[in-house]
Amino acid sequence: MAKKNIGKHFDIYPMPVVIVGTITDGKPNFMTAAWLTKIHSDPPFLAISLGERQYTAKGIRQTGEFALSYPSIDQAELADYMGLVHGDRVDKAKDIEIFKGSLESAPIVRACPVGVECRATQTIDLPHDYLFIAEVVNVYATESVLTEGKIDPVKLRPFVLTMPDNSYWALGDRIGSAWDIGRALIKP
């Protein structure tokens, strides 16, 4: 199959959409993020890249803590709003009901079905962003999105982001079992 070189600016797709909660300058703040990934299983670590201008990044640097709230499609508008304005100009937490877990500085949006408390352990300076490496301390979930105690994506109804078309998408059809459907290609 022929291939065309389309440059070097690449967006991993799709990306999860989360709302990052911090305590910045002593007050709760929330922002939307998509540049994040799991990087270690046990103990669980993730990495998230935040622009150096983000008020949220300031909060993580102040307290070393943050939370990820996972919205369902019902909170898509809220999640988009949290990514449109900066917390040092607008009080985005004003009308948000906050769930507080065990960490002091990791506010979770109560309306979001899943909340993940994180403790930052390392910060890597990138040219314009901070890459925060963080250990997951606790995961909280609303009972209605669980099946046998585990998060069920069908019940959670998450959405994902694609760039550069800047679109949100619901999950599509389940196409098979991971670590399984490829077995058909294993040679005896």
Please state, in angstroms and rounded to a whole number, the distance separating the CA atoms of residues 37 and 14: 12
Q: CA nearest 158: which of 10, 11, 14, 35?
A: 14
Residue nearest to ligand FMN (CB): 83
Q: Does 40 bind ligand FMN (CB under 6 A)?
A: no
132 contacts: CB under 8 Å, gap ≥ 6: 47, 48, 49, 50, 57, 60, 66, 120, 122, 123
The correct pick among 21, 23, 28, 34 for binding ligand FMN (CB under 6 A) is: 34
Please state, in angstroms and rounded to a whole number, the distance separating the CA atoms of residues 126 and 10: 17
The correct pick among 11, 80, 135, 152 for binding ligand FMN (CB under 6 A) is: 80
The least distance separating ligand FMN from the CB of residue 183, rounded to whole angstroms, comes to 35
The correct pick among 28, 56, 108, 159 for binding ligand FMN (CB under 6 A) is: 56
The least distance separating ligand FMN from the CB of residue 129, rounded to whole angstroms, comes to 6
Q: Interface with ligand FMN by CB under 6 A: which residues?
A: 17, 29, 31-35, 49-51, 54-56, 80, 83-87, 161
